Structure 1
C-alpha cells in the first residue's frame, strides 16, 4: 500500500443563482418552479452518477440551487438543460473546481 490514508476525491460544486420577481422569496409559482426543477435535476444527477443535488436557498430576491460532486463540469452538463429551462433572469451558474480560486461563471 502506497498511502497511509484513503482520501476522498476533492468535492466540486455547481451553484445556480436566479433573480426572482421581488426582493424577498419570489412568488409561490416561482418557488414551485424551482422545487420542480430541483426534483428533476436530482433524478438526472443520480441516474448519471455524477454527484448530488444538495438543496436550495431563497431570500433577498434570489433563489440558489446547490449540487456537489467530484467533477463540476460533468455535473453541470447533466443539470444544464433544466437550469436553462427556468425562466428567471438574470441567472448564472458558478462552477467551483477544487477551491474558490478556481471558479468559473456561466451566464444562463
Structure 2
C-alpha cells in the first residue's frame, strides 16, 4: 500500500543519570576536586560509550556543588555502568538522581 507520507517513529523517552557532589567551598571547590570530577567523567564517558548505553553529557560547577549529566534509553543500565566510578569519588555528601520514563519518575540513590 502506498502512502502519501510517512509517520515519524515514536520517540523513545530519553532517561538520565544526574550525579550531585558537595564541594569543599560554596563556589567551585578546590582544584583537586575539579580534577577528580574531570578524571571520573572521562572514565565514565569511555565506559558508557564502550557499553553502548548512552552518553556522558558534561558537568556543571557552582554554588558548592558539582553535577555530572548522562543520558540514554535506560537510566538503570546507564547507572550500572557508571556506578563504580561515581562511588569512587571521595566527595561527600553525594547522590544520584535517576530520571526514568516519559513521566520523568525520579529515584534518588545516595552514594
If the length of structure 2 is used for normalisation, what is the TM-score?
A: 0.92
Matched with 2:23 is 20
The aligned runs of 1:29-44 (5 Å cut-off) are 29-44=32-47
Matched with 1:68 is 71
> Which 5+ residue runs of structure 1 have no aligned equivalent?
none
Of structures 1 and 2, the larger Rg is shown by: 2
In the TM superposition, what is the alpha-carbon distance from 1:7 to its structure 2 partner? 2.6
Q: CA separation in 1, counterparts of 2:92 and 2:103? A: 24
RMSD, matched Cα: 1.5
If the length of structure 1 is used for normalisation, what is the TM-score?
A: 0.94
In the TM superposition, what is the alpha-carbon distance from 1:99 to its structure 2 partner? 4.7
Q: Kindly indicate whether residue 73 of structure 2 is the aligned counterpart of residue 92 of structure 1.
A: no
> Which 5+ residue runs of structure 2 have no aligned equivalent?
none
